Amino acid sequence: MYTVDAMTGALASMGIIAAGTGPASVAVDPAGKFAYVTNFDSSDVSMYTIDATTGALASVGTIAAGTGPVSVAVDRAGKFAYVTNWGSNDVSMYSIGPTTGVLTSVGTIAAGTNPISVGVDPSSKFAYVANFGSNDVSMYTINATTGALTPIGTIAAGMSPTSIALHPSGKFAYITNSASNDVSMYSIDAASGALTLIGTIGT
């Protein structure tokens, strides 16, 4: 854990806190109150509150995920969290306790092979998962009340996609493809959430 100097951007250590085994990814909720860490080897998620003054984390426990959780994303409203599970080829879905930050499971849903990254659009209506092993992207709508995902299909990516990023406007998505050394570019349908490939560019 580090503080950030507001003038220079320099980091200053303020200590460490235990996670699970093989921590792989971290996400902070939009309000800056909670943090979540996926633990690949222990197949769970560590949950923390964030001290608003110091930034220090305090553990509020762990919750089970699927096999080999890799990536975690929190929706813009701070109500739901999603975890990609590399080994079980699915996505764990959670609601977030608004005062405690504790996650509550709302189930799992199938993804492609070796889901490695997850992103939620700025409107919190859609979620997308890059599938490393099947070279595609799983697309979902998000239930605004429960946070549950509903599949709306898949779309091809390049070879071995690894990461997904969504444009702040919610109009575009980008996928890095580690084996084909390029980036897939997509437009997002505002009504359905479906992706349409608009090209690739080399890196």
pLDDT digits (tens, 9 = 90+) for 144-180: 999 999 999 999 999 999 999 999 999 999 999 999 9
Average pLDDT score over residue span 23-36: 97
Q: For residue 196, which of 183, 180, 184 has the smallest C-alpha distance?
A: 184
In this prediction, residue 201 carries a pLDDT of 95
Q: How do the domains of the chain map onto residue ranges?
A: 2-160
**pLDDT tens digits, 90-128:** 999 999 999 999 999 999 999 999 999 999 999 999 999
Mean pLDDT of the chain: 97
Given a cut of 90, whether residue 67 has pLDDT beyond it is yes
Strand segments (E) across the chain:
2-4, 11-13, 23-28, 34-39, 44-50, 57-64, 69-74, 80-85, 90-96, 103-110, 115-120, 126-131, 136-142, 149-156, 161-166, 172-177, 182-188, 195-202
45 strand-pairing partners: 38, 63
2-160: CATH topology is Methylamine Dehydrogenase; Chain H (2.130.10)
Average pLDDT score over residue span 26-48: 97
Strand order in the sheet with 182-188: 161-166, 172-177, 182-188, 195-202
In this prediction, residue 82 carries a pLDDT of 98
Provide the pLDDT confidence category of residue 203 given band limits of 50, 70 and 90: confident
